[in-house]
Amino acid sequence: MPTIAIVSQKGGSGKTTLTVNLAAVAEAAGQIALIIDTDPQATASQWGSWRNDRAPEVIDSAPPRIQHKVDQAKTQGATFIIIDTPPHADSAASRAVEIADLVLIPCRPSAFDLAAIRTTISLIRLFDKPAFVVFTAGPPNAPKIYQDAIDLVREFGIEACPHLLPDRAVYRHASAAGASVLEFEPAGKATAEIDALHMWITAHVDMSSFAHEEV
Ligand SMILES: Nc1ncnc2c1ncn2[C@@H]1O[C@H](COP(=O)(O)OP(=O)(O)OP(=O)(O)O)[C@@H](O)[C@H]1O
Ligand SMILES: [Mg+2]
């Protein structure tokens, strides 16, 4: 029953896009997904309202209420809770990291974006949470760019997720229609990529909770 925080102090790094599409894929895989939108910009909530009550459910939360809303959602049967956070190092991001089982940091594979994730990494270190960078919106076929980016984040002391979410126009088209890429283009590359990421997360959270039990 993982709670995942999507955190990056960099604006426009792909937090909300990752949040809504991951939740949609989780729901399609039989989980009961819930998005908690802690961003005053309310982008995920806007997406949710365009969907007219179609799952996944989106609720908003002020930072002090996040834990309560997570607990409440679990008692109501939510099995995949994902917290979208605002850019900038504020209390919503800190609370989300504190509460989460796993933190994902979306980041474009560009020098400016990579330099900016160090602030986010410092925040995650404070709470000692499992965390991975997810490369978003980079060129689809550029292995050298990704290898350099992976090496750089490793120097920062964090691992990159092996699944990439490269730039696919369908994310923009789907969001504008209040849809996920899964609904918009079920057999498309973006759907296969987000699906692979979801499976990797599910396996990873299972493994890390097992590792904690072993200690
Ligand atoms: N993999 C991708 N391929 C194509 N476009 C993408 C991808 N990921 C994000 N985008 C686009 O990049 C823009 C910013 O994405 P998004 O709103 O998800 O970022 P954010 O980190 O939530 O921004 P903010 O910090 O303002 O909350 C959007 O127009 C979105 O459609
Ligand atoms: Mg956002």
Report pLDDT digits (tens) over 34-84: 999 999 999 999 999 999 889 999 999 999 999 999 999 999 999 999 999
Cα-to-centroid distance, 69 and ligand 1 (Å): 25
| Phi, psi of 174, deg, nearest 5 | -65, -50
3-state secondary structure 98-140: HHCCEEEEEECCCHHHHHHHHHHHHHHHHHCCCEEEEEECCCC
213: CA distance to ligand 2 center in Å? 34
In tens, the pLDDT along 83-98 reads: 999 998 689 999 999 9
Instruction: Inform me whether the pLDDT recorded for 135 exceeds 50.
Output: yes
**Cα 161 from chain centre:** 12
**Encoded amino acid at 54, one letter:** R
> In this predicted structure, what is the pLDDT of residue 2?
87
The number of the ligand nearest the C-alpha atom of 37 reads 2
Tell me, in angstroms, the distance from the centre of ligand 2 to residue 212's CA. 31
Confidence (pLDDT) at 212: 47
Whose C-alpha lies nearest to ligand 1, atom 15?
14
Which uninterrupted H or E stretch holds 59?
Answer: strand 57-60
Which pLDDT tens digit goes with each residue over 181-198? 999 999 999 999 999 999
Q: d(Cα 151, Cα 124) in Å, to the nearest integer?
A: 19
Mean pLDDT score, 1-23: 96
Ligand 1 and 138: CB distance under 6 A: no
Domain tally for the chain? Answer: 1
CA of 12 from ligand 1 middle (Å) equals: 5
Using a 6 Å cutoff on CB, does residue 45 contact ligand 1?
no
Q: Take atom 27 of ligand 1 and give the residue whose Cα is closest.
A: 86
pLDDT at residue 17 tops 50: yes
CATH of the domain at 181: 3.40.50.300
- Domain interval for residue 167: 3-214
Residue whose CA is at the smallest distance from ligand 1 atom 16: 14
**CB 108 less than 6 A from any atom of ligand 1:** no
210: pLDDT confidence band, cut at 50, 70 and 90?
very low
**CA-39 nearest atom, ligand 1:** 27
Asked whether 180 lines ligand 1 (CB < 6 A), one says no
Q: Of all atoms in ligand 1, which is nearest to the CA of residue 8?
A: 21
Mean pLDDT confidence for 111-139: 95
The predicted structure's pLDDT at residue 167:
98
